[in-house]
């Protein structure tokens, strides 16, 4: 019987591990819920983190709308910036533990939403045109609607 080289065994085990990691990175820890949405399975601490972040996003949307109603573009810019990619950087250490549990499309929606907040903040600095800002805000809230229609957080 021929001996299998240790290097080959190591390579095969590495490839299997990488494949499992990639599978979970792309698909997440999900199942189909009874309402037809994708249930993302998180523990209570992870669920709290995601829901806290979502409340922050909603507070930013409210801050933008409220400030625009007062023609206060600086205040609206600050509200938008609060939920941009800077928010992601602040939560990076806490979120590392749940990234494997989130499906790739959820991640794309989330990062796209944070990018959209940054775009709105930049437009508020540059354009100061309420109508164009509202169009960008519409794109942003479509992400929110799509996410909530597609996903739910479950235990």
Confidence (pLDDT) at 12: 58
Spatial CB neighbours of 37, under 8 Å, sequence gap ≥ 6: 149, 150, 151, 152
Question: Order of strands across the sheet with 38-41?
Answer: 30-32, 38-41, 151-154
Best CA proximity match to 137, nearest among 85, 67, 61, 86: 61
Over the chain (155 residues), the average pLDDT of each successive run of 10 is 69 55 62 94 92 96 97 96 92 78 92 96 91 95 97 92
Q: Where are the domains of the chain?
A: 29-153
Spatial CB neighbours of 74, under 8 Å, sequence gap ≥ 6: 67, 124
Distance CA 64, CA 25 (A): 33
Best CA proximity match to 41, nearest among 93, 102, 87, 119: 102
Confidence (pLDDT) at 27: 56
Q: Is 136 exposed, middle or buried (0-12, 13-18, 19+ CB in 10 A)?
A: buried
Confidence (pLDDT) at 94: 74
Confidence (pLDDT) at 100: 81
């Amino acid at each position: 019987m021929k001996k299998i080289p240790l290097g080959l065994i190591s390579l095969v085990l590495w490839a299997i591990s990488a494949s499992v990691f990639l599978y979970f990175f792309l698909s997440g820890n999900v199942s189909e819920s009874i309402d037809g949405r994708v249930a993302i399975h998180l523990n209570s601490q992870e669920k709290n983190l995601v829901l806290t972040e979502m409340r922050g996003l909603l507070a930013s949307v409210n801050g933008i709308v409220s400030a625009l109603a007062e023609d206060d573009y600086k205040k609206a810019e600050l509200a938008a910036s609060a939920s941009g990619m800077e928010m992601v950087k602040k939560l990076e250490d806490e979120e590392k533990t749940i990234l494997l549990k989130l499906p790739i499309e959820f991640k794309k929606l989330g990062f796209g939403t944070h990018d959209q907040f940054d775009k709105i903040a930049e437009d508020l600095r540059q354009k100061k045109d309420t109508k164009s800002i509202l169009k960008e805000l519409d794109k942003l809230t479509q992400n929110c609607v799509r996410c909530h229609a597609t996903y739910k957080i479950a235990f």
